[in-house]
Amino acid sequence: MIPVRVDATERVSQTMPTNSSPNFPHLTASCSNCGLRELCLPLGLSADKLKRIDQIVCARRKVGRGEGLYRAGDAFSAIYAVCSGSFKNKLVLHDGREQVMGFHISGDILGIDGIGEERHGCDAVALEDSDVCVIPFARVEEISREMRGLQHQFHQLMSRAIVRDYGVMLLLNATAEVRVAVFLLDLCRRFAARGYSASEFHLRMTREEIGSFLGLTLETVSRHLSRFHETKLIAVLQKHIHILDAPGLKVIAGAMN
């Protein structure tokens, strides 16, 4: 099935898909029928193993735009798989400023930062109306003890989160131009992996949130987006982004690693 370009607003606000395209998760809280299984926790598990972990998801939960899924300090009991929509992970600093630690879209797992201290280490806030699968962590550990496939998959998932963080650290030592370029390309890559258009998308986050994540001011983000627009690397219209010259962006981003 060839992924078709779908308007971002349509795409993400559609909570009840009418087909079984891999782009759209079923509403049922069952991994074996979920369109996201190749991106999410069950990645790489065979069909019969999938059946066994269907019981891992305890419930679906809707989170409205701007609502929190969990907050820093909340007792940790479950991790969450994003089914639809998107989230930011953020920290509120002592002076009230907010630091964005990452953005998450469908297929991503949220909340593993809570395991270490038995409470969540940051806030997860929905950037739009979203759905998550609630996965009680005790159940992950329980089934992991019985199924080495799931156990290993979960370990890989945590390890990859660490490697991703390495990437963020690298990013934070690059110039503002490089940071913005890498940010855009990273979004492209993630959308593409989900069958969405990699060349055109809606930013669900504000310039301020992007800036916070990239360690820049919102003005700097805006300026570099404008510059990319001027140099015809992208077309920006508010939150609509159209990638016109991905190779060109990659040249800029390539200055990093």
Decide whether 151 or 206 has the Cβ nearer to DNA. 206
End-to-end CA distance of the chain: 34
Phi, psi of 215 (to 5 degrees): 70, 35
Instruction: Work out what residue 29 binds among a copy of itself, DNA, none; the CB cut-off runs from 5 to 8 Å by kind.
Output: none
Q: Which of 12, 122, 132, 180 binds a copy of itself (CB under 8 A)?
A: 122
Residue 256 near residue 199 (C-beta atoms within 8 A): no
- 75: DSSP letter: B
Phi, psi of 64 (to 5 degrees): -75, 155
Residue 104 near residue 87 (C-beta atoms within 8 A): yes
Decide whether 1 or 169 has the Cβ nearer to a copy of itself. 169
d(CA 48, CA 223): 52
Closest CB 129 distance from DNA, rounded Å? 11
DSSP-derived 3-state class of residue 135: strand
Q: Which of 69, 112, 124, 135 binds a copy of itself (CB under 8 A)?
A: 112
Instruction: Work out what residue 177 binds among DNA, a copy of itself, none; the CB cut-off runs from 5 to 8 Å by kind.
Output: DNA
Q: Which of 58, 101, 176, 244 binds DNA (CB under 7 A)?
A: 176
Verify binding: residue 175, DNA, rule CB under 7 A: yes
Closest CB 218 distance from a copy of itself, rounded Å? 14
Verify binding: residue 208, DNA, rule CB under 7 A: yes
Closest CB 42 distance from DNA, rounded Å? 34
Decide whether 49 or 239 has the Cβ nearer to DNA. 239
d(CA 28, CA 105): 19
Residue 131 near residue 15 (C-beta atoms within 8 A): yes
Residue ranges in 129-205 assigned as alpha helix (H): 137-146, 148-171, 176-193
Residue 31 near residue 37 (C-beta atoms within 8 A): yes
Q: Rule CB under 8 A: which residues touch a copy of itself?
A: 91, 93-94, 99, 101, 112-117, 121-122, 141, 144-146, 148, 151-152, 155-163, 165-166, 168-170, 172-173, 215, 254, 256-257
Q: Rule CB under 7 A: which residues touch DNA?
A: 175-177, 203, 206-208, 215-223, 225-226, 236, 238-239
